[in-house]
Structure 1
Amino acid sequence: MSIFFKGILLFSALFSNVVSAQNILEYHLKVGDSMTVSQKAIQDITQDLDGTKHELKNTIEADYTFVVSQKTDSTYIINFNFERFKMVTNSNLYGDVINIDTKNSISKDDIQAQVFLGMIGSKLKMELLKNGKIKSVSGTEKMIAKMIDKAGISDELTKQVMIESMKKEFGNKSLAQSFEQMTFIYPNKKVKMGDTWVNIYKGDLNAKNTWKLDTINEKTLELSADSDITMSTKDENVSMTLTGKQQTKLTASKTSGFIKDMVVKQTAKGVSVMAQMTDVDIPTTITSTTTYKTIKHVQ
């Protein structure tokens, strides 16, 4: 047999072993590991009220840093904080609605921007299971208090109302559910290339995710997921109930398990109900693309 054909057979055997090998996919972090992630979400909302289309575009950007402080047999304790937050909202009917970027100079009179400035640098902590499920988040009480202080609100009743409102978006439970959409990606079983598994996200976004191990080698792994989603939100002004689909693709480090990059695309349709028009269902469609990228990883 020629060396050429021997080489082909050897390559085929090695490839077969890689494809059929059972892999434990999980996080392998070390105390002191530091990861800075940049996130960008572009969301388009279309509402149709009596033939008038209201089109909103939200662009949200954030940078945050995670530092592993402790490690146990089953979990990691991770300190994290927001480094930057940007939010821009445009409306085809009302023009620019929100324009906030904490990296820019912010006027003390811009109360809305001052509130988000209070997020920056606040020390938070999460307990992360090795499959990416977030067991808990703590520290948001101080962050929310800082956000309210930045707004310069002195009336105690107003403060309490704001605290309860902000807990829905930035409380311990809410942040845990939000970050799980980036971290909770691994199965509780050994898998080989092509295998699938299911997990569930809960919160304002409920998702049943069917994951697949697309490729794996010594350095990286690639996963994808197809999801059935339900969005349910309610505040003093509007409530929304929508259902739809979500597609996720990501590349992660085989060594640490932490993502290198991730793209999540969503389409959902349903109805909105305005507080002052409770008997009117407004047809609503939301499409969004969210990208995550690890811009710095120090091990």
Structure 2
Amino acid sequence: MKALTILLIFLSSLSLTAQKVLQYNLKTDDTFRVEQQAKQHITQDINGVDQIINNHLKSVMQFKVVKVEQDVIVLEMTFQHLKMTMSSPELGELLNADTANEDDADLTSKMFKGTLNIPVTMIMERTGKIQSISGGEELIASMFKAANIIDGATIEANKAQFEKQFGSEALSNSFEQMTYFLPAKAVTINDTWENVYQGDLRAKNKWTLSTYTEDAYTVSGNADVTMSNIDENVTMVLTGTQKTTINANSKTGLFKEITVEGIYIGDTQVNAQNMTIPTEITSTITYKILN
């Protein structure tokens, strides 16, 4: 009896410490929808007076698996809904753009409508690292078309700004924030690994496998972050930290819900006025599988 008890304890300990391979296991024609919500609270000290801006972005994206290979998964993404609001306690509502808006006079909403149902192709490694994205150029062209902007000079003057949000490289960097959190090696509970996000939000992430069952697992992450937005008019560089919590499906590797909380502090340089504005941003971003 004593020997049996020891054996059971031994087998139980093996189960607890067994290594897990965390990766995406999706099949061709799998589809899922993701709702993203991003809230930013921006405080800028302008000559000793705080100016506050609140941004809220909501989007719904549909993903379809079009091909599965040994090392990569090819997905097609389309936007199904996009809404952005910007407001200030002092200045009131500054922007309210929504693809559900029926007002044809709202130029920003019309441009957002141009993003709907335009396919973007994503090639993703099984860790969630994105090798490439194509379709960003078509997305931006559709935005200009939806707003009936056909003048070549106007398009060229504004294209670079749209590429920072909707270009293929920008989309790749953005999507990695909801896909790229899996390790390249087998891990056990409490093991850690690292990766880096590139782009305007550059983050060095340290991940930990917190829990694991046959059906679900959780990953927690902490990151040191540099947020930058640099153009000929404004230079903003902020540094800070992010804390991420991920609940995911053990069978598919796909997240169920992600929460990212961050705080970033630095300066905004307005070049034309030679003005330096202390800036602080707190943000909460959530991603949720809708089906």
User: TM > 0.5 between the two?
Assistant: yes
CA apart distance, 1:165: 2.1
Q: Does 1:60 align with 2:57?
A: yes
* AA at the equivalent of 1:20: T
Shift in Å at residue 236 of structure 1? 4.9
Q: Is the CA contact (8 Å cut-off) linking 1:148 and 1:162 kept in structure 2?
A: no
Match of 1:294? 289
Matched, 1:103 2:100: yes
**Letter paired with 1:21:** A
Q: In the alignment, which residue of structure 2 is the partner of 1:145?
A: 141
The answer on whether the counterparts of 2:101 and 2:109 sit within 8 Å (CA) in structure 1 is no
Which residue identity is paired with 2:286? Answer: T
Aligned to 1:171: 167
Inter-partner Cα distance in structure 2 for 1:190 and 1:92: 49
Q: How many residues align?
A: 290
Q: TM-score under structure 1 normalisation?
A: 0.93
2: CA distance, partners of 1:61 / 1:15:
45
Percent identical: 38
Deviation for aligned residue 1:185:
0.6
Cα offset, 1:154, TM superposition: 2.6
Residue 88, structure 1, aligned to residue 88, structure 2: no
State which of 18, 24, 38 in structure 1 corresponds to 2:15: 18
- Mapped to 2, the partners of 1:18 and 1:171 lie a distance apart of 45
> 2 CA distance for matches of 1:120 and 1:110?
16
How is 1:1-299 mapped onto 2 (pairs within 5 angstroms)?
10=8, 13=10, 15-105=12-102, 107-278=103-274, 280-296=275-291
Aligned partners of 2:268 and 2:49: how far apart in 1?
14
RMSD of aligned alpha carbons: 1.7
Shift of 1:235: 3.5
The 1:237–1:90 alpha-carbon spacing in structure 2 relative to 1, beyond 3 Å, is farther
* TM-score with structure 2 setting the length: 0.95
**In 2 relative to 1, CA 13–82 (structure 1 residues): closer, same or farther, beyond 3 Å?**
farther
Unaligned runs of 5+ in 2: none
Could you tell me how far apart the structure 2 residues matched to 1:100 and 1:13 are? 60
Shift of 1:91: 1.2
